[in-house]
């Protein structure tokens, strides 16, 4: 009987493997995008005017620390009886600020120091009450008769101390380009909120230099930005033809927007009555300088600056009407953050696809 030749069967890898690898890669990319979306959406909602924090209480109430129940804003009587001053921690043109204690909680008590500026003080209180949101420091109580405001205490203080804070061993892990970019996004979110607030379009007028801007904001313990000082917050109402002027004195320097500077040259002395008013786009002009401070000089920050070059150049356009809105700036920041985190997480993805 003739034997048939015996052939050795050679095993080849199944064709499905490359397709399977590609499918897994695409699934990983989609998962990464989903995680990025959920992560960013938790902190930065892209629409809505109020942007209220779910943890906030109804109007006229507050919640402090780990306490679950909301308490009504403290009255004059409650502040005088229950709040104890500990030490003075700051003083400005309008008010003096005291670290204080209420029911074993650290709080901040602000009191008017210059009676000539009581209208500014009361305006700040009015803004603080009306703008309570995730972007604004929490109001705990007030006494108009005694020109006193009580707010939540944030131990990391104002943004002026950001770089010093990030060099403390406890917070060195936060000193990264993406965390710094997220702080810049927080800042732009505050500007966007003020420009579309429940009261209308508000302009942050206490912002004539970088140090002054940084002093108006607080850094929270979980590394977010809150606006703290709302004394100089005039309203723009285009339909009524109402624009604003930030004070009655001449403003100088490259930090303030061109339209905020005296337009008639050195030969004509400054006169407040002749100074043209302007709108909220003065805040947009200042965003690149403030963001540059936030980004600092850590590894990766120059790459972020490169990606933000075009939007920052648009912010610096001389014609205010040609500058982007705060929403457009924030959207660009979000896109850059997502792009750079995606590339850092999966640097070879583009080549593999």
State the CATH number of the domain containing residue 88. Answer: 3.30.200.20
Beta strands in the chain (DSSP E): 61-62, 71-72, 83-91, 95-102, 105-112, 139-143, 148-152, 201-202, 217-219, 225-227, 235-236
295 shares a domain with 168:
yes
CA-closest candidate to residue 311, choices 295, 327, 293: 327
Which letter does DSSP use for residue 122 in this model? Answer: H
* Average pLDDT estimate for 288-311: 97
Q: Which domain holds residue 210?
A: 154-346
- Asked which of 9-13, 73-77, 92-96, 306-310 is least confident by mean pLDDT, the reply is 9-13
Tell me, what's the pLDDT at 47?
37
100 shares a domain with 222:
no
295 shares a domain with 199:
yes
Q: Which two tokens stand for residue 98?
A: 């005291």
At 229-246, the pLDDT tens digits run 999 999 999 888 899 999
Neighbours of 273 (CB within 10 A): 5
165 shares a domain with 125:
no
149 shares a domain with 80:
yes
Domain boundary at 153, 180, 209, which?
153
Q: How confident is the model at residue 49 (pLDDT cuts 50, 70, 90)?
A: very low
Q: How confident is the model at residue 67 (pLDDT cuts 50, 70, 90)?
A: confident
Domain boundary at 138, 153, 168, which?
153
pTM: 0.85
CA-closest candidate to residue 149, choices 83, 87, 199, 92: 83
| Number of domains comprising the chain | 2
Q: How confident is the model at residue 46 (pLDDT cuts 50, 70, 90)?
A: very low
Domain boundary at 102, 122, 153, which?
153
């Amino acid at each position: 009987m003739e034997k048939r030749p015996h052939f050795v069967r050679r095993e080849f890898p199944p064709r499905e493997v490359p397709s399977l690898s590609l499918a897994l890669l695409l699934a990983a990319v989609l998962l990464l995008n989903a995680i990025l979306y959920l992560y960013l959406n938790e902190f930065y909602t892209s629409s809505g005017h109020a942007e209220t924090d779910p943890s906030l209480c109804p109007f006229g109430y507050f919640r402090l620390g780990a306490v679950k129940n909301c308490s009504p804003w403290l009255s004059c009587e409650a502040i005088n009886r229950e709040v104890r001053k500990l030490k003075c921690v700051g003083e400005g043109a309008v008010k003096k600020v005291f670290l204080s204690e209420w029911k074993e909680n650290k709080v901040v008590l602000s009191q008017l120091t210059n009676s000539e500026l009581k209208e500014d003080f009361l305006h700040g209180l009015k803004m603080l009450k009306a703008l309570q949101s995730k972007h604004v420091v929490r109001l705990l109580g007030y006494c108009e008769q005694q020109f006193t405001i009580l707010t939540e205490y944030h131990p990391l203080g104002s943004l002026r101390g950001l770089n010093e804070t990030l060099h403390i061993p406890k917070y060195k892990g936060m000193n990264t380009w993406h965390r710094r970019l997220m702080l810049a996004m927080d800042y732009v979110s505050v500007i966007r909120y003020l420009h579309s607030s429940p009261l209308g379009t508000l302009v942050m007028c206490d912002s004539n230099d970088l140090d002054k801007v940084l002093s108006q904001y607080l850094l929270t313990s979980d590394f977010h930005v809150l606006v703290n000082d709302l004394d100089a917050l005039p309203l723009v109402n285009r339909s009524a033809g109402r624009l604003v002027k930030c004070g009655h004195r001449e403003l100088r320097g490259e930090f303030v927007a061109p339209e905020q500077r005296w337009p008639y040259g050195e030969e004509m002395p400054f006169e407040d009555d002749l100074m043209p008013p302007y709108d909220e786009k003065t805040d947009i002009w200042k965003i690149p300088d403030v963001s540059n401070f936030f980004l600092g000089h850590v590894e990766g920050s120059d790459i972020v600056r490169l990606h933000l070059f075009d939007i920052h150049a648009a912010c610096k356009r001389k014609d205010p009407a040609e500058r982007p809105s705060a929403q457009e700036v924030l959207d660009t920041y979000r896109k850059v953050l997502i792009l750079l985190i995606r590339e850092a997480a999966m640097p070879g993805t583009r080549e593999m696809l």
